[in-house]
């Protein structure tokens, strides 16, 4: 019987052997960036790799998701997902942007796709698989970045999706029903090689449409209703309530104007915004979301325009599962040394949001970070300076964690399950998110 150390040694050697191939996958995804729910090329690359490696999979889940299945040969046991996010952002001045779409990997998700496959490459070693009980689920998931809200609303109207984040929609579709726990390693600009812990903000996503009345901007502005002025007033109102946000709620309120009018010679009659309200706890989220809606109404009231606010259920705060995290941490330390690993307290909230948070509401998950990036996350200078740290190190740490979970009769994985109390069932999650969706209409002309 090989020991855990033997299994890990064989796995790490196999990952090292595939290192060039796996880093090549990261670079290929970097050069073909695709935003959420359009990740066709990236999805195909994952499918081709799984096919070449003899791993059965389902494709087209939530439009572009790819879910593999590798059965351990030592018997039944829990299913552990290793996740990689397929999508990019839109950063048209990023050096690796797509000319046609402006898409660019300014959040390092191309490295996640590769580290997921890298971990899998190690675990496919026959002597390792023979010692694992349960199932490994390599899962390439779409649309973590909650962007292009208007386009996703159209997909919803067409009945092609209901929830507008990738893991949210996969949860709704039941694609996680046969998964027991999950992990994903995200790149960062941290000086350390691996980091565990912390949480993230939940959010509400808003699509805001102002309707006014067009008129000649020079000859008859008094006959128009200026929807752009309504929006501008609303933004001032939002800035006026910022002093009420409490530090402990890690509130972030921000957005973009996606349509400001049609022609400079006319009073703008149709103006749209995509907006976001974030917070680390759900009470503050609900409260601040309602206050921001009031600000949008205030803009409509001021000029007599009407406003429609489509509130879309966004992400939920992240809960890292303690025993799963401890298992990853031990392997991280063994791999790169204690000095290269950071441990953050559970309340450490960087302000961002992820739909791993949604997954963490229904099953044990971890969302550790790896180093290797430089620049500013979501900025035009976010680049991977060290692919070994951004791809190979997390692949190894996740593969070692899977060995601890599923070797020796999957005792550790079962402990993780019995120790964890996710706040919701899958059904409760879907019902909870559905209940958050609402459309608020307000006619400022009627006051
Ligand atoms: Zn991001
Ligand atoms: Zn990201």
Q: Domain map of the chain by residue range?
A: 4-200+317-406, 203-314+436-443
Band (262; pLDDT cuts 50, 70, 90):
very high
Residue 49: predicted pLDDT: 98
CA of 109 to the centre of ligand 2 (A): 6
Q: What is the pLDDT of residue 425?
A: 97
Token digits for 346?
């559970």
Q: What is the phi/psi pair of residue 379, to 5°?
A: -100, 175
Q: pLDDT by residue (tens digit) across 309-364? A: 999 999 999 999 999 999 999 999 999 999 999 999 999 999 999 999 999 999 99
Distance 409 CA to ligand 1 centre (A): 37
Ligand minimally distant from the alpha carbon of residue 377: 1
CA of 265 to the centre of ligand 1 (A): 38
pTM of the model: 0.97
The stretch 379-400 carries a mean pLDDT of 98
Look at residue 447 and tell me whether its pLDDT is greater than 90.
no
> Over 90: is that where the pLDDT of 157 sits?
yes
- What pLDDT is attached to residue 135? 98
**CATH fold group of domain 203-314+436-443:** Alpha-Beta Plaits (3.30.70)
For the segment 116-132, the average pLDDT, to the nearest whole number, is 98
Residue 1 has pLDDT above 90, yes or no: no
4-200+317-406 — its CATH code? 3.40.630.10
How far does residue 107's CA lie from ligand 1's centre (Å)?
5
> Which ligand has the nearest atom to the CA of 110?
2
Rounded CA separation 278/289 (Å) = 8
Residue 266 has pLDDT above 90, yes or no: yes
């Amino acid at each position: 019987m090989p020991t855990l150390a033997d299994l890990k040694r064989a796995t790490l050697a196999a990952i090292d052997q595939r290192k060039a191939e796996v880093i090549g996958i990261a670079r290929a995804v970097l050069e073909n960036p695709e935003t959420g729910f359009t990740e066709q090329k990236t999805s195909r690359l994952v499918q081709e790799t799984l096919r070449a490696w003899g791993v059965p999979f389902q494709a087209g889940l939530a439009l572009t998701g790819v879910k593999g299945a590798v059965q351990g040969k030592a018997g039944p046991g829990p299913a552990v997902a290793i996740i990689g996010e397929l999508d990019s952002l839109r950063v048209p001045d990023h050096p690796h942007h797509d000319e046609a779409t402006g898409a660019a990997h300014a959040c390092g998700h191309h490295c996640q796709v590769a580290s997921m496959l890298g971990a899998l490459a190690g675990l496919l070693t026959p002597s390792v698989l023979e010692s694992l009980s349960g199932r490994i689920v390599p899962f390439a998931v779409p649309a973590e970045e909650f962007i292009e809200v208007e386009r996703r609303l159209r997909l919803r109207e067409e009945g092609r999706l209901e929830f507008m984040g990738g893991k949210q929609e996969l949860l709704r579709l039941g694609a996680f029903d046969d998964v027991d726990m999950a992990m994903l390693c995200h790149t960062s600009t941290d000086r350390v090689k691996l980091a565990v812990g912390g949480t993230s903000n939940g959010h509400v996503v808003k699509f805001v449409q102002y309707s006014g009345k067009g008129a000649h901007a020079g000859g008859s502005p008094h006959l128009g209703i200026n929807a752009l002025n309504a929006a501008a007033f609303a933004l001032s109102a939002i800035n006026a309530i910022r002093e009420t946000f409490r530090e402990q709620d890690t509130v972030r309120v921000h957005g973009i104007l996606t349509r400001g009018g049609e022609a400079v010679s006319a009073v703008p009659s149709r103006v749209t915004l995509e907006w976001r309200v974030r917070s680390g706890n759900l009470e503050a989220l609900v409260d601040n979301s309602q206050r921001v809606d009031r600000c949008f109404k205030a803009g409509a009231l001021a000029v007599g325009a009407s406003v429609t606010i489509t509130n879309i259920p966004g992400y939920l705060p992240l809960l890292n599962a303690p025993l799963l995290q401890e298992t990853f941490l031990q392997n991280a330390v063994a791999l790169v040394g204690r000095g290269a690993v950071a441990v953050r307290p559970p309340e450490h909230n960087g302000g961002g949001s992820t739909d791993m948070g949604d997954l963490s509401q229904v099953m044990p998950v971890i969302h550790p970070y790896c180093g290797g990036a430089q620049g500013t996350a979501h900025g035009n200078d976010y680049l991977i300076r060290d692919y070994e740290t951004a791809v190979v190190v997390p692949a190894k740490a996740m593969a070692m964690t899977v060995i601890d979970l599923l070797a020796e009769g999957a005792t550790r994985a079962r402990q993780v399950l019995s120790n964890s109390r996710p706040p919701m069932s899958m059904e409760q999650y879907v019902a909870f998110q559905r209940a958050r969706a609402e459309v608020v209409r307000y006619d400022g002309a009627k006051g």
